[in-house]
Amino acid sequence: KAGVTQTPRYLIKTRGQQVTLSCSPISGHRSVSWYQQTPGQGLQFLFEYFSETQRNKGNFPGRFSGRQFSNSRSEMNVSTLELGDSALYLCASSRMRQGNTEAFFGQGTRLTVV
């Protein structure tokens, strides 16, 4: 079955702009989480969505937001982009929120802010 799909794969934006990234989870998976990967900080949790509701949020400013649709697809938005937002943004899906089930990652969106 198809894996987690993230679009676009690469993106270049200018400081001050906003960006929307998309994630389609594995069919049947209802939990979608977003992570930011940077060389200095590693993989850091942004937020988690389940049944169209944000269930958890990491320690990121309010410029980072997201949503989940009824088909479990998710988008994340970053407004007023800063140079430090340049990173690989990864989406992960899992069948459930709880229980010992692994999360599967997409290939990520590489965002470069110039």
Tokens of 29: 């998976």
Q: 85 with 111: CB under 8 angstroms? A: yes
The full length of the chain comes to 114
Q: Which is nearer to another protein, 40 or 84 (CB)?
A: 40
The stretch among 13-21, 50-58, 63-71, 77-85 that binds another protein (CB under 8 A) is 50-58
Contacting another protein within 60-89 (CB under 8 A)? none
State how far the Cα of 113 lies from the Cα of 105, in Å rounded to an integer.
Answer: 23
Q: Which is nearer to another protein, 16 or 96 (CB)?
A: 96
The stretch among 13-21, 62-70, 74-82, 90-98 that binds another protein (CB under 8 A) is 90-98
What DSSP string runs through 53-108? EEEEE-S--TTEEEEE-TTS-EEEEE-S--GGG-EEEEEEEES-SSSS---EE---
Q: Using CB under 8 A, which of 76, 94, 111, 113 touches another protein?
A: 94
List contacts with another protein (CB under 8 A): 4, 6, 31, 33, 35, 41-45, 48, 50, 55-56, 58, 90, 92, 94, 96-108, 110
